[in-house]
Chain A
Amino acid sequence: MNPASLLDAALDDLLRRVRPLLAVIQDGRRGAGAGVSVGDGLVLTNNHVVARGRSVRVTLEDDGTFEARVLARDPEVDLALLHFPGGSGLPAAVFASERPRPGEMVFAFGHPWGQRNVLTGGVLSAVTTARTRRGEIPILRTDARLAPGNSGGPLLNAAGEVIGLNAMIFGGDQGIAIPAGIILKFLEQARRSNPSRPVPEGAL
């Protein structure tokens, strides 16, 4: 096989592994966002995707739809954690442990313009910072095509690990993602502040 065919096979494999992780998130408004399973019935998404209420609908790859509860949210870093009882059997996303490098290949997975399970590719354009009320936070920028509906979906590296959560589109050609480090801190915080329904270790 030539390298291009090997590349095709590797992409097929990546897609097969990450497909079951991706959910459609709706909070009753028009349009939908994406979410990524982190195990034990927990789904991570953007806060702005579920800004409307405490109850949202989660649709899985097999079209099964569940009511989910917003367990924790942090508008400052645009993250929210959902829980639904039927989701305990879902696989959990693996987060990248190494710092992402500009120029490495990345894949955004989501539902741009409402089209389900769309994978777009590009490279990590920059590891940069954004100003929030809490101070500067690191963010990732990519040249992979993003559109409304990608929000809350994972930004994956070539190994299929989550390096960030897609959050915004600037100027049509520049996507912004919240990096894995911020996500892991958020999950840890969510676990500590929810003793009654603890975020399982497995998610961290």
Chain B
Amino acid sequence: MSNVLVELSNALATAAEKAGASTVTVNARRRMPASGIAIAPDLVLTANHVVEFDEGITVNLADGTELPAALAGRDHASDLALLRLDGSKARAAEPAKDARIGQIVLALGRPSAEGIEASLGVVSALGGPVRTRHGGLDKYIRTDTTPFPGFSGGPLVDAEGRVVGLNTSGFGHGAAITIPADLAWKIAGQLAEHGSVKRGYLGIRSQGVEIPQAAQTALKRDQATGLLVVGVEKGSPAEAGSLMVGDILVAVNGQPVRNHDELLVQLSGDLVGKAAPVELLRGGQPQTVTVTIGARE
């Protein structure tokens, strides 16, 4: 018999099959293998924390083929690592558009040769920016799927089998989050090109402060907090851009900086080496200075 329940069930199994063809096994740690997503015939994106080895890494494709893989780059801040396969045989996954809260999703993994594994859930929350142990994460997805052992590095897929993001339990507390596909693919592009993700550097020490209502009005920003500069490093981009102790940072490159997390996220990636407008309050008056963002070592 066929009804809407059977149709939904078939659609989910087909989604698992389709995305499963791009979901691989990553053998790069001593304990059990983990999962990865083929994003190109020769590139596999996985979670950084499952890549314990720098050498001797292998990847099993969906058909079981085992290929040697080289580490193309890692990014601790987003817990992503990119592997380059010895051979262009993988089937590239199709990324999805933005995730929506309540959307039906499957978390997939391929931690063994026994086949694709799945767990069902919905998109529970969209979060970020958030500070991580090694930097900042622009945004993330939280779901109520069950992260089975070896699921880290595998895809979260929608009902059409498109990849909504990459699942990882590498941020601790036993909880898994999902790096949204557009962010994951962007970081993968930087890893493929540079082997690392460039992160911006200002060279200030700062602390959060409240912005008085009058100053908010003068700034034409509805922003209750900013960052008070309490130190400027010698020879830093901030010094070159004439930032001073006592300035209150309110925006970088047009984006509000309400706290340290937002500053870290604003400094990640694209701005390195570029002259960016930095909006601040100096003596209660709004000013904009230009700072050429440095690269953090």
Judge whether B8 and A158 touch: CB under 8 Å.
Answer: yes
A174 within 8 A of B: yes
Contacts of B15 in A (CB 8 A): 103
Contact B8 A123 (CB under 8 A): no
List of B residues within 8 angstroms of A14 by Cβ: 5
Q: A103-B118, A124-B118, A141-B117 are in contact. Are A7 and B4 (CB under 8 A)?
A: yes
| Count class of interface residues, chain B | 20 to 34
- Whether A158 lies near B6 (C-beta < 8 A) is yes
Contacts of A9 in B (CB 8 A): 4
Residues of B within 8 A of A10 (CB): 3-6
Q: Do residues B118 and A159 form an inter-chain contact, with CB atoms below 8 A?
A: no
What is the bound-complex CA distance between A122 and B122, given in angstroms?
12
Task: State the main secondary structure of chain A at its contact with B.
Answer: mixed
Known contacts: A103-B16, A157-B9, A174-B148. The answer to whether A123 contacts B118 by CB under 8 A is: yes
**Which residues of B, 75-134, contact A by the 8 Å Cβ criterion?**
106, 108, 112, 114-120
**How many residues of A are counted as interface, with CB atoms below 8 angstroms from the partner's CB atoms?**
28
* Interchain CA distance A76-B260 in the complex, whole Å: 59
> Are A105 and B12 in contact (CB-based, < 8 A)?
yes
In the bound complex, CA of A104 to CA of B3 (Å): 14
B11 to chain A, nearest CB (A): 9
Number of interchain pairs (Cβ within 8 Å): 91
Give chain A residues whose Cβ lies under 8 Å from the Cβ of B114.
126-129
Cβ–Cβ contact A13 & B119, under 8 A: no
> What's the Cα separation between A104 and B112 when bound, in Å?
19
Q: Which residue on chain B has the smallest CB distance to residue A6? A: B4
When C-beta atoms are compared, the residue in chain B nearest to A161 turns out to be: B1
Check B119–A105 contact: CB distance below 8 A. no
Chain B contacts of A11 at CB under 8 A?
5
User: In the assembled complex, which residues on chain A have CB atoms less than 8 Å from the CB atom of B108?
Assistant: 103
Q: Is B17 among interface residues, defined by CB-CB distance under 8 A?
A: yes
- Residues in chain A near residue B115, CB distance under 8 A: 102, 126-128
> Any chain B CB within 8 A of the CB of A173?
yes
B213 within 8 A of A: no
CA distance A27 to B148 in the complex (A): 34
Q: Mark B1-25, 1 if CB is under 8 A from A, else 0.
A: 1011110111011111100100000
A-B interface, 9 closest residue pairs, ranked by CB to CB distance from nearest = A103-B16, A158-B9, A10-B5, A101-B13, A105-B9, A104-B13, A6-B4, A143-B119, A126-B117
Return 10 A-B CB contacts under 8 Å, by A number: A102-B13, A102-B17, A102-B116, A103-B106, A105-B12, A125-B148, A126-B114, A126-B118, A143-B148, A159-B6
Supplied contacts A101-B17, A125-B118, 19 more A-B pairs, CB within 8 Å:
A7-B5, A11-B5, A102-B116, A103-B13, A103-B15, A103-B116, A103-B118, A104-B10, A105-B9, A105-B12, A123-B106, A123-B120, A125-B146, A126-B115, A126-B116, A126-B118, A127-B114, A128-B114, A158-B5
